[in-house]
Amino acid sequence: MCNRISYVVWAALVCGWLCWTPEAHAHKMKLFAAVEGDTITGYAYFPGGGKAKHVKVTVRGPNGEAFGEVTTDDEGAFSFQARSRTDHVLTSESEDGHGATYTVAASELPESLPGMTVTAGGEVSTPAAAAPPPDNPAQTPPATPPVEVVERAVAAQIRPLREQLQHYEDLIRFRDVLGGIGYIVGVMGLISFLKTKKRAKDR
Amino acid sequence: MHIADGVLSGSVLATGAAIAAVGVGIGLSKLNPQHVPRAAVLSSAFFVASLVHVPLGVGSVHLILNGLTGLALGWGAFPAIFVGLLLQAVLFGFGGLTVLGVNTITMAFPAVCCYALFRKAMKASQGYRTFAAGFLAGAGAVALSGLLTGLALAASGKAFYVAAATLLAAHVPVMLIEGFVTGAAVTFLVKVRPEVFYVPARGPCCEESACV
């Protein structure tokens, strides 16, 4: 009787510990970045586990040319001054093998930036030409605020939305977990089937 | 513990994939058809354990359960862990497909070591000794996984000492919790379902060596 109670206690402890999770999140590093004016700001974080502090973030062009390197601060945040209107590929990597990539598209950067850049080695790289859309001055009323101001305001407005979208993506959904278990059952069923078939043949 | 895509060098990835393929092959050939459901259960447990996060200190930790998988499956831990890791990578972006081989080795090799080291001790003992064997297997498997991950990073040109120290320091609480959970699970299973670890009584044809 006493033994039986101890099993139940053990089982309850294990189950309780396993279930005691306020939220289920993946254990990996992720990057978030957005453009403010001509500056790329963002942060590195572990979904569900806080911000990734003091992590190197390498900024590269679309063809792999190095633009620079920044390190996240105590809040996991970083900022990088964009000098050209090209795709910026941000890559972070921690010492224990976690890493993440985030691409800031050229179209997010202001049109005032040059579309061509000279790399440190003096090599001229020509990324996807960011041709400015044809302007039709006749249709633009004179009272319209400058495009940059509008862009900046819109970017600031949609930033929380984008953050929310990304965090929504980070969530582990119950249906995915169940689906994964279903796959395991299927795969093991297949192995079992193949093994018994082979055995039947051997006999 | 999951190494991300794009961190390791090509040669390390290729070597890892080759060794993991051999391990999975050995595991599959040694997996008795009767034990496939057991492998499925432990593979599922491994798959889910890494998704359940408990906030601890600055970060969050999760169980790995490779020690328990090894104790119950032996070489069968290789296919079980491979399937779990594959699904974690595809469904949740844990690790990645290119590093699948290396991640399989870092988690499944310690599992096989636990099997070799602790299964006999666990079978021959009772009560708190069973718990101790389970605890050592659980904690030891996590520590060895950390060391192997550090080695894989070092082989790709990262600083081994920094990587291993960061990993092990972060995993000390995981080792303790994992040891406790594995010990508790083993003690519980040995009492209520001993056939998880022992050969099912199916006559003399089914010796342990044949049933691994």
In this complex, do B33 and A196 lie within 8 Å of one another by their Cβ atoms? yes
pTM score of the predicted model:
0.74
pLDDT of B209 strictly over 90: no
Domain membership of residue A139 (yes or no) is: no
How many angstroms separate the CA of residue B134 from the nearest CA in chain A?
14
Q: For the purposes of burial, counting CB atoms within 10 Å of the CB of B165, is it exposed (0-12), middle (13-18) or buried (19 or more)?
A: middle
pLDDT at A130: 47
A183–chain B Cβ distance below 8 A for any pair: yes
Domain membership of residue B3 (yes or no) is: no
Contacts of B91 in chain A (CB under 8 A): 176, 179-180
In this complex, do B158 and A95 lie within 8 Å of one another by their Cβ atoms? yes
Q: For the purposes of burial, counting CB atoms within 10 Å of the CB of A86, is it exposed (0-12), middle (13-18) or buried (19 or more)?
A: buried
pLDDT at A16: 56
Number of domains in chain B: 1
Domain membership of residue B42 (yes or no) is: yes
Phi, psi of A88 (to 5 degrees): -110, 120
Phi, psi of A66 (to 5 degrees): -75, 130
| Parts of chain A with a pLDDT under 50 | 19-26, 117-131
Mind listing the pLDDT tens digit for each residue in B112-138?
999 999 888 777 767 788 889 999 999
For residue B187, give the CATH number of its domain: 1.10.1760.20
Domain membership of residue B4 (yes or no) is: no
Domain membership of residue A163 (yes or no) is: yes
How many angstroms separate the CA of residue A28 from the nearest CA in chain B?
6
Lowest-confidence range among A113-117, B66-70, B201-205? B201-205
pLDDT at A124: 47
Which residue, B34, B130, B17, B22, is CA-closest to B73?
B34
Domain membership of residue A162 (yes or no) is: yes
Contacts of B92 in chain A (CB under 8 A): 26, 172, 176
Domain membership of residue B168 (yes or no) is: yes
pLDDT at B153: 86
Instruction: State the residue range of the domain holding A43.
Output: 30-120+147-172
Instruction: State the residue range of the domain holding B73.
Output: 10-211
> Kind of pairing, strands A124-125 and A117-118?
antiparallel
Domain membership of residue A68 (yes or no) is: yes
End-to-end CA separation in angstroms for chain A: 47
Domain membership of residue B1 (yes or no) is: no
A188–chain B Cβ distance below 8 A for any pair: yes
Domain membership of residue A37 (yes or no) is: yes
Number of domains in chain A: 1
Domain membership of residue A23 (yes or no) is: no
Count of pairs with CB atoms under 8 A, one residue in A, one in B: 143
Domain membership of residue B205 (yes or no) is: yes
Task: Output B72 or B55, whichever has higher pLDDT.
Answer: B72
Domain membership of residue B5 (yes or no) is: no
Domain membership of residue A5 (yes or no) is: no
Complex prediction ipTM = 0.72
Alpha-helical runs (H) found in chain B: 10-30, 36-49, 66-73, 77-92, 100-124, 128-155, 160-192, 208-211
CA distances from B92 to A4, B79, B80, B157 (A): 39, 19, 18, 27
- Mapped onto helix, strand or coil, the DSSP state of residue B32 is coil
For residue A102, give the CATH number of its domain: 2.60.40.10
pLDDT of B75 strictly over 90: yes
Contacts of A94 in chain B (CB under 8 A): 166
